[in-house]
């Protein structure tokens, strides 16, 4: 049975999402070159993944409202899988470029998250090892 949603968590997540979407919009709005937009989206997603890793590594489960606001809200709104997917699909006529963008996005996202987790855990003063999936809650 699904867990009930805490209204406070929902409120801070929605507020954070608005901040993240606004930040992404302010970064992407000045980009008028359609060939540059996918690369700016790649950069936004890479930086967002890095920052999300920092937030998760730093806050862990200690501050659920802050993690919901910053992680799920701000950084969830800031990063965007859908823009990445559409940008990649738009380049279907240039398959090597589309494949390169997709690969770069995956490497930047996963690499950023790993580095961010390491940094966040160092900030929090906890060991740098990543817990096995079966131990995660």
What pLDDT is recorded for position 129? 58
Report the predicted TM-score, pTM, of the whole model to 2 decimal places.
Answer: 0.84
Residues comprising the chain, all counted: 137
What pLDDT is recorded for position 128? 57
What pLDDT is recorded for position 67? 94
What residue numbers does the annotated binding site for Na(+) cover?
76, 79
60 backbone φψ class: left, alpha, beta (φ>0; ψ -120 to 50)? left
What residue numbers does the annotated binding site cover?
76, 79
What pLDDT is recorded for position 62? 86
- The stretches of 6-94 forming alpha helices (DSSP H) are 7-28, 37-59, 64-67, 76-78, 81-90
CB 88 within 8 Å of CB 98: yes
Q: Which residues of the chain have pLDDT under 70?
A: 127-137
What pLDDT is recorded for position 83? 82
Domain ranges across the chain: 7-135
């Amino acid at each position: 049975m699904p867990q009930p949603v805490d209204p406070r968590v929902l409120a801070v997540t929605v507020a954070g999402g608005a901040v993240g979407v606004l930040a992404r919009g302010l970064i992407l709005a000045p980009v008028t070159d359609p060939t540059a937009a996918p690369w700016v989206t790649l950069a936004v997603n890479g930086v967002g993944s890095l920052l999300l890793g920092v937030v998760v590594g730093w806050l862990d489960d200690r501050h659920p409202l802050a993690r919901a606001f910053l992680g799920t809200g701000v950084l969830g709104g800031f990063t965007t899988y859908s823009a990445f997917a559409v940008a990649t699909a738009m380049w279907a006529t240039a398959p090597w470029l589309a494949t390169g963008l997709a690969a770069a996005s995956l490497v930047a996202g996963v690499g950023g998250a790993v580095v961010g987790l390491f940094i966040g855990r160092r900030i929090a003063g906890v060991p740098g090892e990543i817990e096995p999936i079966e131990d995660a809650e």
